[in-house]
Amino acid sequence: MAKSTNKSSARLEARVSPEVKALWQKAADLEGRTLTDFVIASVQEAAFEVIQRHQTLKLNREDSEAFVAALLEPPQLSEALKIAALRYKKQCDSAD
């Protein structure tokens, strides 16, 4: 009888040195997990942290106050910026 496979999972293989595998196995044993469960949980946690770090903008107090001040009291547009905006609008209008 053929072994059924779980279609909702994907396989991932990695080659590591025996020392790295032994380290991971020791950590998994200490947590009472299988090596596979330990690796999956560790990689998933690391992935969440990386994504969170890249999706979160953190400002110090001084920078956050400057940001809020710029939103509440935007600076006046310079003439050069006004001219550039008009030139850009004309280019966009002529592209249509």
Q: Is residue 52 part of a domain?
A: yes
Tell me which residue range forms the domain holding 62.
18-95
Q: Is residue 3 part of a domain?
A: no
Q: Is residue 90 part of a domain?
A: yes
Q: Is residue 68 part of a domain?
A: yes
Decide: 24 and 41 in contact? Cβ < 8 Å. no
pLDDT of residue 95: 78
How many domains, in total, are found in the chain?
1
Question: Which single residue is written with the structure tokens 């080659």?
Answer: 15
Q: Is residue 57 part of a domain?
A: yes
Which amino acid belongs to residue 25?
A: Q
Please say if the pLDDT value at position 4 is more than 80.
no
The model's pLDDT over 40-93, given as tens digits with 9 standing for 90+, comes to 999 999 999 999 999 998 899 999 999 999 999 998 999 999 999 999 999 999
Decide: 28 and 38 in contact? Cβ < 8 Å. yes
For the segment 12-40, the average pLDDT, to the nearest whole number, is 97
Q: Is residue 50 part of a domain?
A: yes
What is the b/e burial string over 72-91, where b = at least 16 CB atoms within 10 angstroms of the residue's CB? eeeeeeeeeeeeeeeeeeee
Please say if the pLDDT value at position 9 is more than 60.
yes
Q: Is residue 5 part of a domain?
A: no
Q: In the chain, where does DSSP find H-type helix?
A: 18-31, 35-55, 61-72, 79-95
Q: Is residue 74 part of a domain?
A: yes
Token readout for 66 is 């400057």
